[in-house]
Chains A and B, each alone.
Chain A
Amino acid sequence: MNVRLYLWQRLTAAVMVPMIMLHLALIFYATRQGLTAADILSRTRGSVAWALFYGTFVLAASSHASIGIRNILTEWSPLKDRAAGVSAMGFALLLGALGLGAVAAVVSP
């Protein structure tokens, strides 16, 4: 890992700290009487605030996770540095696309 990847990973980590706390609180709140689609979607549909919150969350998580995956691949798999970098980038794009798709699905009215 070099200083740029390090900075990105720690920065996204710091951004996600309050987000994860809120997300955990929400998980507890949403499961208070069992999880239902109506309950979730009534909160998220048409909400710009939730779209922004989870949109940011998805982007931060995608970069953070893929840098971690890159470290694990270089240290624990036979992949060389370049191959690990490319795989991690692919994973970041996949997560980002799926994540933003999910956010769009739950916030679009």
Chain B
Amino acid sequence: MSNTESELTVSLWRGAQSGSYETYKVPMHANQTVLDVVTWVQRNVDPTLSYRFACRVGMCGSCAMTVNGGPRWTCRTIVAKVVKGGRLEIGPLENLPVIKDLAADMRVFFEKWQQAKGVFAPSKTRHDAIERIKSDSEARIAADLAIECINCAICYAACDSVRWNPDYLGPAQLNRAWTLVNDVRDGKNPERLQAVAVKGGCHSCHSLQSCQEYCPMSLNPTAAIAGLKRRTMRAFIKGEIKA
């Protein structure tokens, strides 16, 4: 690439939970992504720089980082869109522990995913006929709106309900629970509603709405969580679940 115009001043988080930002000069190119910038530093300045990526096309959800104060999928974020005065500050995702440099520890994120019963529980066996689901049914439409999550944890990093309440399951996890609540094939829904109705469940969401502002897939976890709030409220009144 020869179309170098000038240089970017890039601060990268170095260290683990405690650490500091270190500054690098990176050549600026047209259409360069934030991931390109990080990769350039690792290839040309310091091969020990740690970060995570896989697909580079916005499908795998592994390259999210904090870019100039906001969580973003770095492979699909063009530098020109987020750069401020020629500067980029890139750190690991907020609200998660740091393993090293730009790689956040995703374990809590996926543990909460399990806690919210984000795993499909089949209600039939291979010997049963395949369930027919009408594409225009209310449940299918609700599930469709929430189903494209790539587990990038951007919503989780942007959520102050998560920051202020470590028990809170989180927007992605509850969004996932909502898709399964709307999946008529799933057999574990009473348990799932119970799991999201206790302390730290969907009622800990304060509708701050940062999740839907930042979701790279344009999903709306706040709306999904509102659905769970209604559904659990109804189940609680009917005595199907406990507080």
Contact = CB atoms under 8 A, between A and B. Distances in A.
Interface of A: 1-7, 71, 74-76, 81
A81 B236 contact: no
Complex A-B, nearest 5 residue pairs according to Cβ-Cβ distance, in ascending order: A4-B243, A75-B164, A6-B203, A3-B197, A1-B203
A3 B243 contact: yes
26 contacts: A1-B199, A2-B198, A2-B199, A2-B201, A2-B203, A2-B243, A3-B197, A3-B198, A3-B201, A3-B203, A3-B232, A3-B233, A3-B241, A4-B236, A5-B203, A5-B243, A6-B203, A6-B229, A7-B233, A7-B236, A7-B237, A71-B206, A74-B165, A75-B164, A76-B164, A81-B199
B95 interface: no
A interface secondary structure, majority = helix
Interface of B: 161, 164-165, 197-199, 201, 203-204, 206, 229, 232-233, 236-237, 241, 243
Contacts of B161: 75
A73 B241 CA distance: 26
A3 B242 CA distance: 8
Nearest to A11: B233
Given A75-B164, A76-B164, A81-B199, A1 B204 contact: yes
